[in-house]
């Protein structure tokens, strides 16, 4: 219900900017465009975002360890196997998209696969699968579409002027003010939608992979790198920033004035508390079968996940791509 209200607020902002462009007629046209965008996003959200980031699909032959991680996690989460993609970007990051679990896709950057250990990659992909499990991906992609459209319409009003209604007490000043404030309002709604979901995805992702510390370590590494390693595609499409596990924007633009994600420190603290709660209560009993390259081990007290390590943080091994 909360997400539906937030999406309705985004649509209302879009209609308000439409009014500034063309009065009542413009508002109705904006409403129809918003409805069409929602329908388009429903059926094409995955293709749209993946194309925007130049993602390429991989399989068991082209990326066996990365694909194996996602396959094992999807099975543990009770999800259909999603399509698996790689983004050519030095910034470590990842996102999920798709209208439902049956049509989901997950994508990780080459920077993430090269920088993080296998345990940490598993934690990140488990977080993304948690978004799929919670049906977050459709909502987040539609939000990105409408928020981006609001920004474009607001730019149009600002540079070319909008509808002038003599009965309006605001006139040109009101139009300019609305053109400036509409993108900020859309960003705040976008931020609210994302923030309500990140903590839940962190928790569910940690439960799926069984290693809250590995996910916490991955968040710390990604957040540390995102500030100084640019993601050019994200900088060009800031309305999609909330799709990623960590805000991919460098902060060099005003688009990063309001963060679309909760503070990484707070997310890590929540994961460490979850780790404490899970400590001493093994998730598994008996022998644990791991994907190729991970070996096997027996679950013991303090060992909660099938991704290596002994519950004392992320392993020091190299990532799935070496």
CA 105 to chain centre: 12
Element housing 97 (H / E)? strand 94-97
Q: Is the pLDDT of residue 299 over 50?
A: no
Please tell me which residue, 312 or 115, carries the higher pLDDT value. 115
Tell me the pLDDT tens digit for each residue of 64-99: 999 999 999 999 999 999 999 999 999 999 999 988
Q: What angle do CA 112, 115, 118 make, to 5 degrees?
A: 80
Q: For the chain, give the mean pLDDT.
A: 76
Confidence (pLDDT) at 46: 81
The single-letter DSSP state of residue 140 is H
Q: Is the pLDDT of residue 147 over 50?
A: yes
Binding site for Zn(2+), residues? 127, 131, 198
CA 99 to chain centre: 14
From residue 297, alpha-carbon distances to 89, 122, 226, 291, 316 in Å are 34, 17, 34, 12, 17
Please tell me which residue, 48 or 255, carries the higher pLDDT value. 48
Catalytic residue among 128, 207, 211, 265: 128
Confidence (pLDDT) at 255: 40
Q: Is the pLDDT of residue 103 over 60?
A: yes
Please tell me which residue, 81 or 234, carries the higher pLDDT value. 81
pLDDT (average), residues 20-43: 78
Q: Which residues pair with 86 in a beta bridge?
A: 56, 108
Candidates 209, 51, 230; CA nearest to 117 is: 209
128 is catalytic: yes
The top-scoring range by mean pLDDT among 35-49, 120-134, 172-186, 223-237 is: 120-134
Confidence (pLDDT) at 40: 78
- Per the CB < 8 A criterion, the answer to whether 242 and 141 are in contact is no
């Amino acid at each position: 219900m909360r997400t539906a209200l937030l999406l309705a607020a985004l649509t209302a902002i879009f209609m308000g900017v439409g009014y500034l462009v063309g009065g009542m007629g413009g508002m109705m046209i904006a409403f129809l465009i918003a409805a069409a965008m929602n329908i388009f996003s429903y059926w094409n959200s995955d293709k749209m975002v993946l194309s925007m980031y130049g993602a390429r699909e991989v399989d068991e032959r082209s990326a066996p360890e990365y694909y194996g991680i996602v396959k094992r996690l999807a099975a543990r989460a009770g999800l259909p196997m999603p399509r698996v993609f790689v983004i050519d970007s030095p910034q470590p990051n990842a996102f999920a998209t798709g209208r439902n679990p049956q049509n989901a896709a997950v994508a990780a950057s080459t920077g993430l696969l090269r920088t993080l250990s296998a345990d940490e990659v598993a934690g990140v992909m488990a977080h993304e699968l948690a978004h799929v499990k919670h049906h977050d991906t459709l909502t987040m992609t539609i939000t990105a579409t409408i928020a981006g459209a609001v920004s474009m319409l607001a730019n149009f009003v600002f540079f070319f002027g909008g509808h002038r209604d003599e009965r309006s007490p605001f006139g040109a000043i009101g139009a300019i003010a609305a053109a400036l404030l509409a993108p900020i309002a859309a960003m705040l709604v976008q931020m609210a939608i994302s923030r309500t979901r990140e903590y839940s995805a962190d928790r569910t992702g940690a439960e799926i992979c069984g290693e809250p510390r590995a996910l916490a370590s991955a968040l710390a590494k990604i957040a540390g790198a995102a500030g100084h390693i640019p993601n050019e595609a994200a900088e060009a499409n800031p309305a999609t920033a909330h799709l990623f596990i960590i805000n991919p924007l460098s902060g060099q633009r005003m688009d990063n004035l309001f963060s679309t994600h909760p503070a990484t420190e707070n997310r890590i603290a929540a994961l460490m508390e979850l780790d404490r709660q899970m400590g001493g209560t093994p998730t598994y009993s008996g022998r644990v079968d791991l994907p190729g390259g991970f070996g096997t081990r027996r679950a013991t007290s303090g060992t909660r996940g099938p991704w290596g390590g002994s519950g004392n943080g992320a392993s020091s091994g190299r990532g799935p791509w070496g």
